[in-house]
Amino acid sequence: MAAAASAVTMARSDEWNREMNGIMNYSGRRVVVMGLGHFGGGIAVTRWLVEQGAQVTITDSKSAADLAESLSRLDGLPVRQRLGGHDPADLDGCELLVVSPAVPKDKSEFVREAVRRGIPLSSEMNLFIERCPAKRVVGITGSAGKSTTTAMIGSILTTASEAGALPRVWLGGNIGHSLLGDLQTMSSEDLVVLELSSFQLEDLGALRWSPPIAVITNIQPNHLDRHGTLEAYADAKMNLVRYQSADGVVFVHEGEDEVARRVTAVGAGARLRRVTFPQEFASHLRLPGRHNRDNAAAAIAVARALGVADELIKRGIEAFTGLPHRLEFVAERDGVRYYNDSKSTTPESTRIALEAFDEPVVMLVGGYDKKIPLDGISRQLAARAKLTICYGQTGPAFHREITAAGGRAERADSFEDAVAKARAAAVPGDVVVLSPACASYDMFSNYEERGALFRQYVQAG
């Protein structure tokens, strides 16, 4: 199934919802949720569908043992579980298939069978956007920095809300919280802040919807194993602005000329606003690195666009101390500082981490191969890192590229060995940074598990 076919199928789902379910009455309808996962979207949409009266079946390629924690959050719900694979028989009588954004629909025989049967598709985010009452929505995407930018915007706007300057603020999306369960308490005057991934935006294209306020942090090669090409990946990102109305606005960092070109190409150039970090906010930002000044620049621009006074913006920035797994300070051991940047799953985000420090850096890189070129980041590691420890599926390629570029690199036999080698090589005044440039799936369930294990090894040393 090509991307275009996927979009048509999603559109049929939207039409089905409008014509058959305009008052959100799922009572008695059979719905299959494909992909329960670990991050909350599948769990939240399952709970919400049950609350609407749907007869829900969840199916996942992972076993019940692998999904034990997620399944525990569904205890007591009348949900049918079909785990360890996807059986086409589970589509019998199905009236809607809700697909996790992590599922590559064009490669899934289960999804293709649903399409052949005429079963409409939807997603957790599409269901939310169809029903979201808030008129003011801020959407954030990008290859790197989108989670921190989203959280920083949330911190500023929540500070303003608590001061009585804004209505209630809701934060969700790819950052890890589904807002479906909050729909009943939202109002049209509220503010919604959403981090949106390329997978979510690919699905949202069927709704022909874009948020009135958008931020695109950057676009670099990512998820090419899923999207196939940089053009396809970037095109999915552009759904964030493709359908904006004339009074919308798009914030892009100064210097991101390629992003600006793409925004203009989809017709949103007239709404484009370039942003830079206002120096009067410098003393209020607690996070290291130029990239965090860029993140703050976008957050400040959004807050100002919503009418928030600078004094409240400064308070919101001061209150934000960063996110777990994103250049998170772990500990200082024997004069060496350790940082967990496990959320770094692209070469661009690793470059940003590398440039965040003036001190000598020992980097840990490697992981699942997403078919992204590693030669560029390898040259940068060769030039700037004191030493790079290479592990995982991409470890051999990193080691080869870095040493060929004249840099220092070592291979590690395991993740524990990688941390041990980094500890042995670092001296007082150095920093050790886990910033893998790759996904975690070769060795871990997710980047959070990888980061947690890094913390454990460091704090045990």
How much is the pLDDT for 42?
Answer: 93
Residue-wise pLDDT tens digits, 198-223:
999 999 999 999 999 999 999 988 88
- pLDDT-derived band of residue 461, with 50, 70 and 90 as boundaries? confident
State the pLDDT at residue 8. 41
Q: How far apart are CA 405 and CA 119, in angstroms?
A: 52
- Which region among 10-24, 113-127, 237-251, 446-460 has the lowest average model confidence (pLDDT)? 10-24
Q: What order do you get walking across the sheet with 191-195 strand by strand? A: 169-173, 191-195, 136-141, 213-216, 249-253, 272-275
> Which tens digit of pLDDT belongs to each residue from 138-179?
999 999 899 999 999 999 999 999 999 999 999 999 998 999
Residue 40's pLDDT is: 72
With a cut of 60, say whether residue 320 has pLDDT above it: yes
pLDDT reading at 3 higher than 80 = no
User: What are the phi and psi torsion angles at 36 (to 5°)?
Assistant: -75, -45
What whole-number percentage of the chain has pLDDT above 90?
85
pLDDT of residue 21: 41
pTM: 0.82
Q: Is the pLDDT of residue 238 over 70?
A: yes
Instruction: Give percent of the chain above pLDDT 70.
Output: 95
Given a contact cutoff of 8 angstroms between Cβ atoms, the answer to whether 313 and 281 are in contact is: yes
The arithmetic mean of pLDDT across residues 344-366, rounded, is: 94
Q: What is the mean pLDDT of residues 82-106?
A: 95
Rounded alpha-carbon distances, angstroms, from residue 383 to 280, 326, 408? 33, 23, 9
- 62 by Cβ neighbours in 10 Å (0-12 / 13-18 / 19+) ranks as middle
Altogether, the residues listed in the chain come to a count of 461
Report d(CA 347, CA 437) in Å as an integer: 5
DSSP 103-143: S-GGG-HHHHHHHHTT--EE-HHHHHHHH---SEEEEEE-S
Sign of CA dihedral 93, 96, 98, 103: positive
Residue 15, pLDDT above cutoff 60 = no
Closest alpha carbon to 237 in 214, 212, 213: 214
**pLDDT at position 24, please?**
52
The full set of domains in the chain, from first to last, is 3-122 (3.40.50.720), 127-319 (3.40.1190.10), 328-460 (3.90.190.20)
Q: What is the pLDDT of residues 256-300, one digit of tens each?
A: 999 999 999 999 999 999 999 999 999 999 888 888 999 999 999
The pLDDT score that the predictor gives to residue 6 is 45
- Which range scores top for mean pLDDT: 18-32, 60-74, 184-198, 275-289? 184-198
Q: Look-up: residue for tokens 């954004």?
A: 101
* Mean pLDDT score across all residues of the chain: 93
